[in-house]
Amino acid sequence: MVVQHTNAAKEAKTVRKHSLKVAARQHYEIQLPQTTALQLTPEAIPLDILFEDEHLLIVNKPPGMVVHPSHGHDSGTLVHALLHHCPDLPGINGVERPGIVHRIDKDTSGSLIVAKTEEAHRRLVEMFARHDIRREYIAWCRGAPLWTELHIDAPIGRHPHHRQKMSVQPTGKNAITDVCVEKRYRRDFCRLRLSLHTGRTHQIRVHLSHNQLPILGDAVYARSYRPGPDIPNIAKCAILGQRRQALHAEVLGLTHPISGQELLYRAPLADDLQALADALDKAYA
């Protein structure tokens, strides 16, 4: 955005800033760029499909793939791949997010539902609103809690100082996560299974960080970490090689919104998380 401001003492000056303090007797002229119609081109990107019929499909999204186009991501998204796979998808849920019912983060892998018809999309949205869809994630974290199960009921809102982050806020939106410890690697690390009852932005990452269990590889909600000499070498190498948060949307279970069939699918781990899991298991056997 280009902002031009003038005052009585100075001639017109053009400023390019994300933020600018307003002073008395200044006049601002804002020039907004022309809007352009969004046109999405189908791309022949392979999809790992766990289930598909004429109404919906369930895909295992790879890490590094954005779900739908956004600023800085105008190609290579899941939507671009879906448009190639499903030519009739445009128009369902708008131009930018055709067929999209819910999202997972770019660097989170795992199962995701896509609607192929308007009726399926409407009913799936209602099911998510009623929390009628089973969603379980696996995360590998620093630390190992003494408890085995934890119910986290902590509202989430925009971080007051870092606008790209979320945080637990008293005035935030209701957010509920159930956590179960599946495995402890001494007191160093743990593998957790998490069940979502709500779907807030970055919910799992925020809730775990808030409870001093940062996810390995999380560059946003975990402090920089370098394993010390007490960590087995095989685990140390795997952790240092982790390039994204060790979080995977494994289980997706629901009643088919049209047929009533019970669906339950488990998305296989991506190669990087499988390597991390194998290394930790071997290091702490």
Q: Which residues are known catalytic residues?
A: 105
Other residues' Cβ atoms within 10 Å of the Cβ of residue 278: 13
**Residue 91 vs residues 46, 87, 99, 257: alpha-carbon distances, Å:** 22, 11, 8, 19
Phi-psi category of 129—alpha, beta or left, where left has phi over 0 and alpha has psi -120 to 50? alpha
Q: Which of 23, 173, 28, 201 is nearest to 103 (CA)?
A: 201
Label the pairing between strands 134-142 and 247-255. antiparallel
Buried b (16+ CB within 10 A) or exposed e, 148-185: eebebebbbbeeeeeeebbbbbeebeebbbebebeebb
46 burial (CB, 10 Å; 0-12 / 13-18 / 19+) is exposed
One-letter amino acid identity for 17? K
Q: Answer for the pair 106, 65: CB distance below 8 angstroms, yes or no.
A: yes
In a 13 Å sphere around the CA of 265, the CA atoms on its Cβ side amount to 23
3-state secondary structure at position 209 = helix
Its sign, for the CA torsion 167, 169, 171, 172, is: positive
